[in-house]
């Protein structure tokens, strides 16, 4: 589909986080990088809407809000104007777990509605969806009248809300809004041959606090060399691989296969 682009919204003030959310590391990568990686296989034009020049480092076009201090509506507006396409797929930088498969699904269900957003269970996700240039007039009006709630805008347009509870896991819609949604920094301690291979690497991580996390997948993604090495994981000296929701470990060890008997 040539007349659609991907717009990653990263222009918020992040007042609850205290710093720019999209640049905060989650599972070893900035949140915005997770979304960039998810979009790459689709080979669609992708842009970032941000008011922070640090986003230039990610290698894709970055545009500022045309309407400053207008929240997500300002970002959607800037995305529609700068994408130079009739429709955009909007992704918020604080939802780093959105998958390539889900973005493909959005494209497949695109229809004559001007806005298409997903609903999982009882929760609607207005900042993950398709937005058409046909809404620009009502979007401008809403911003100029300081009516900045996204759902209020949606209700004024031709829209469709798709329930995807049975098609996709709830976890892909999780958002990281506050520091409470992250674990504190955790020390990673490698042993034996693993320590030799990982010498000089920063061994502290921050992991999402809102869902269980498979540490083997995280480690293999962060340090690809581990894909070729057998190892065991210990969380605070307990041999297991899954970090539980709301858990705050002090130390995670990466052990050679003979360690611990």
The reported pTM is: 0.76
**Whether pLDDT at 202 is above 80:** no
pLDDT category of residue 17 using cuts at 50, 70 and 90:
low
Hey, how many other C-beta atoms are within 10 angstroms of the C-beta on 166? 6
* Residue 136 to residue 191: CA distance in whole angstroms: 57
* Residue 117 to residue 223: CA distance in whole angstroms: 35
Residues 20 and 38 in one domain: yes
Arithmetic mean of pLDDT over the chain: 88
| Full residue range of the structural domain in which residue 216 is found | 183-255
Residues 19 and 143 in one domain: yes
Residues 188 and 135 in one domain: no
Residues 129 and 60 in one domain: yes
Q: What is the pLDDT at residue 28?
A: 74
CATH code at position 146: 3.90.550.10
117-128: pLDDT as tens digits: 999 999 999 999
- Contact partners, residue 200, CB within 8 Å, separation at least 6: none
Q: What is the pLDDT at residue 250?
A: 85
Q: What is the pLDDT at residue 261?
A: 47
Domain count, the chain: 2
Degrees to nearest 5, angle at CA 115 with 112 and 119:
115
Q: What is the pLDDT at residue 2?
A: 65
């Amino acid at each position: 589909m040539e007349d659609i682009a991907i717009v990653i919204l990263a222009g918020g003030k992040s007042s609850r986080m205290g710093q720019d959310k999209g640049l905060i590391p989650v599972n070893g990568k900035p949140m915005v990088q997770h979304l960039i990686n998810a979009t790459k296989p689709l080979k669609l034009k992708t842009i970032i809407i941000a008011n922070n020049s640090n986003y230039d480092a990610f290698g894709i076009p970055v545009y500022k809000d045309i309407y400053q201090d207008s929240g997500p509506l300002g970002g959607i507006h800037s995305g529609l104007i700068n994408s130079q396409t009739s429709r955009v797929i909007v992704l918020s930088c604080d939802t780093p777990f959105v998958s390539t498969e889900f973005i493909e699904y959005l494209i497949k269900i695109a229809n004559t509605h001007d806005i298409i957003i997903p609903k999982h269970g009882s929760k609607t996700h207005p900042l993950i969806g398709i937005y058409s240039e046909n809404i620009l007039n009502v979007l401008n009006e809403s911003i100029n009248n300081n009516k900045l709630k996204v759902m209020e805008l949606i209700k004024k347009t031709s829209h469709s809300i798709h329930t995807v509870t049975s098609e996709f896991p709830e976890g892909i819609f999780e958002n990281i809004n506050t520091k409470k949604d992250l674990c504190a920094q955790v020390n990673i301690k490698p042993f034996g041959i693993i320590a030799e291979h990982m010498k000089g690497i920063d061994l502290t991580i921050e992991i999402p606090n809102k869902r269980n996390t498979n540490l083997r997948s995280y480690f293999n993604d962060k340090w690809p060399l581990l894909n070729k090495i057998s190892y065991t994981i210990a969380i605070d000296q307990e041999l297991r691989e899954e970090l539980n929701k709301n858990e705050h470990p002090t130390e995670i060890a990466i052990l050679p296969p003979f360690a611990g008997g």
